[in-house]
Every structure is written in C-alpha cells, then in structure tokens.
Amino acid sequence: MSMAAAPSLHEADAWTLARPLLPAAVVLAASDPRAPQPPALPEERAALAHARPRRLREFDAGRAAARRAMAQLGVPPAPVLHGPDRAPVWPGGLAGTITHCDTACLAAVARAENFRALGLDLEDDNPLAPDLLATICTPSELDRLAAVPPGRRGQIAKLIFSAKEAAYKAQYPLSRTLFDFQTLEIELDAGGAGHFTARFLRAVAPFAAGSRLSGRYAIGGGRIVTAVVLAA
C-alpha cells in the first residue's frame, strides 16, 4: 500500500495561515516547490519549454497543489493550462488561483457556480525595498505609510503589495486587463483585524472607478497571505 508523503512544515504552515481567509466552499491545497512533485502534464508544460529549472519546480508544485485542490472538490485530474497572458486556464466549471513563495505553493479552487473569481497571494514577510515604494504605492498610501513607525513601514508596504496582487488576480478573469500598481488603492482596516479593501482609481471594465473589492490577510511564520474572493 502506497502512502502519500506528509506535508512539509513549510507547506503546512502556509496552508494553516491561508485557510481561515477563505470561505468553506473554497478548497485549499499546498505543496513545497523544493520537494519532489509529480511533474506537470505535458500540455501544461508546453508553454515553458525554455524555463529555468527553478521556474519549472515552482510550476510543477503549483499544478500539483491545484490538482490536490480539485481532488478535494471531487473533480478528476485535468490540465490547468498556461495562458498566453501567463494566467492559469482552469477547467470548465472551476474558479481558482495559484501562488507561491520560495518555500511553499498554495492553490485555491471552487465551483464557478458559487464564485466568479479567486485571488490568493503568498509572500515572504520581509520589508518591501524602499526603491519600490513609489512604484507600488499610490500617493495616498505613501501618506498613510508615513504615519507608521519606521520599523514597520517596510512590512506594511509589503502587505499593500500582496493585497494588490490578490486583488489583481481576482479581477483579471473578469476584466482580462493588465494594469499597474497605481490602478488599485489599498485601505487596511484600522483595527488590524485582517481585512482590507482594494479600490479602483480608474475604470477597468466591468469595474467602475471607485469600485471596491474586499479582502482578508494574515501574517505569521515569516509569511504574508492575502485573499480576495468574488462570489457569483
């Protein structure tokens, strides 16, 4: 009798941090990109013929996590293709999102009848580089960061970056529009309860200027996780 490998400490920690951010109807699976994983299907890897080994390991781990999540939904294994825009192409009837950092991959999957789109982002909890602040943060976000104690500004800026990544991933299946970090503005809840909103500063159809996406975040174990879920 074969036995599945036990999850690594890193993937278990990432899963534990992310799971409370998602509704029960969204399933979550994890993998470790440094550990051996089942190779991605040939049709999935077709777009990565010239990718570096590290990128292939991350890709395989992400697809392995995606198939574990699909199995939890009772969905037979199916390719999650790599679109020309590099976004995952989920099998019909599913909404999903994949994210990774150096030590863990996460995949969240749900039935499309319940959720229009999902966005999940996983980052190492190290400060955002100061030279990226003006690229990532809007003027209003920079003003709010100025009020944060200097020792925490880099971490909060990294959280803003991650929140924008999650919101972007959630909106993309609906808009199919690429845009820069200045298009969304993040507002973190004042009480530190793990909620944020991402506001569109300009129209990105079907989202009007001023539209807001609600999200959640968690910080722990040296990681930041952010999630945005758009219900059907």
Annotated binding site: 55, 63, 99-100, 121, 123, 165, 169
Annotated binding site for Mg(2+): 121, 123
CATH architecture of 9-121: Alpha-Beta Complex (3.90)
Distance from chain centroid for Cα 64: 16
Q: Which pLDDT value is given to residue 117?
A: 98
Q: Which pLDDT value is given to residue 38?
A: 85
The rounded mean pLDDT for the chain is: 92
Q: Which residues are 219's β-sheet partners? A: 224
Q: What is the pLDDT of residues 56-103, one digit of tens each?
A: 889 889 999 999 999 999 999 899 998 888 899 999 999 999 999 988
Annotated binding site for CoA: 55, 63, 99-100, 121, 165, 169
Say how many CA atoms lie within 13 Å of 65 toward its Cβ: 31
Q: Which pLDDT value is given to residue 12?
A: 64
> Any idea where the domains of the chain sit in the sequence?
9-121, 125-218
Q: Which pLDDT value is given to residue 11?
A: 64
Q: Which pLDDT value is given to residue 2?
A: 26
- The mean pLDDT of 23-34, rounded to a whole number, is 96
Q: Which pLDDT value is given to residue 10?
A: 59
